[in-house]
Every structure is written in structure tokens, then in C-alpha cells.
Amino acid sequence: MRLHPSDVANFALVEWSDNIGISDAPPSEYFPAYAARFNEADLKQMGAWHALPDGWTDMEYWDFIDARRRLIAKVIREGHECLVSKGCPDEAAEP
């Protein structure tokens, strides 16, 4: 299957040591151990900033891509509106 140009945005930086551990495992297997490093508020904020749809760890890949594409657009749109209005929330706020 051919990638849409916007699908490049779905690639994420994963630290080398994490990537080795993940290998080709699905998110439903690897994410719980990764998530255990963070508190619930941080996970929620990271999910928002990284445009992760609810239930992403159990989604089929192309469903995830479609849902995330819309959320990435929302994060970008909200960031642009923030800059244009000069009313950006502090860095700790969710997008």
C-alpha cells in the first residue's frame, strides 16, 4: 500500500533503546511498559501534543493513520490560531 504524503508525519522519534525493545510488536503490547514511566496527566498531555487518537494502541494501522491525520491538522490549526491571536496558553497546557 502506498503512503499518502501526510503519512510521513505519522513517523515518530523513538529512542534507540526503546526501539530495540519494541521491535515489531504492536502498540497494545509495548505501550503499557512505556506508559508506566509517566503519570496520567503527562500521558494525556503527550497524547494530545502527539495527536494520538483515543484507543490508538488497539487500532488497525490505517484507521490509526486516518484518525491521527485529522488530529495532527487540529494541533497545527490550534497552534496557528494561538500564534495569530497572541493568546497562547502556557507550555503546560494541552493543545
Spatial distance between the Cα atoms of 50 and 19, rounded to a whole number of angstroms: 17
Spatial distance between the Cα atoms of 35 and 43, rounded to a whole number of angstroms: 7
pLDDT at 79: 87
Q: Which cell numbers in the block locate residue 83?
A: 500564534
Q: Which cell numbers in the block locate residue 38?
A: 509517566
How far lies 11's CA from each of 5, 7, 65, in Å? 12, 8, 10
pLDDT at 92: 46
pLDDT for 27-74, tens place per residue?
899 889 889 999 999 999 999 988 999 999 999 988 998 899 899 999
Q: Which of the two residues, 43 and 95, has the higher pLDDT score?
A: 43
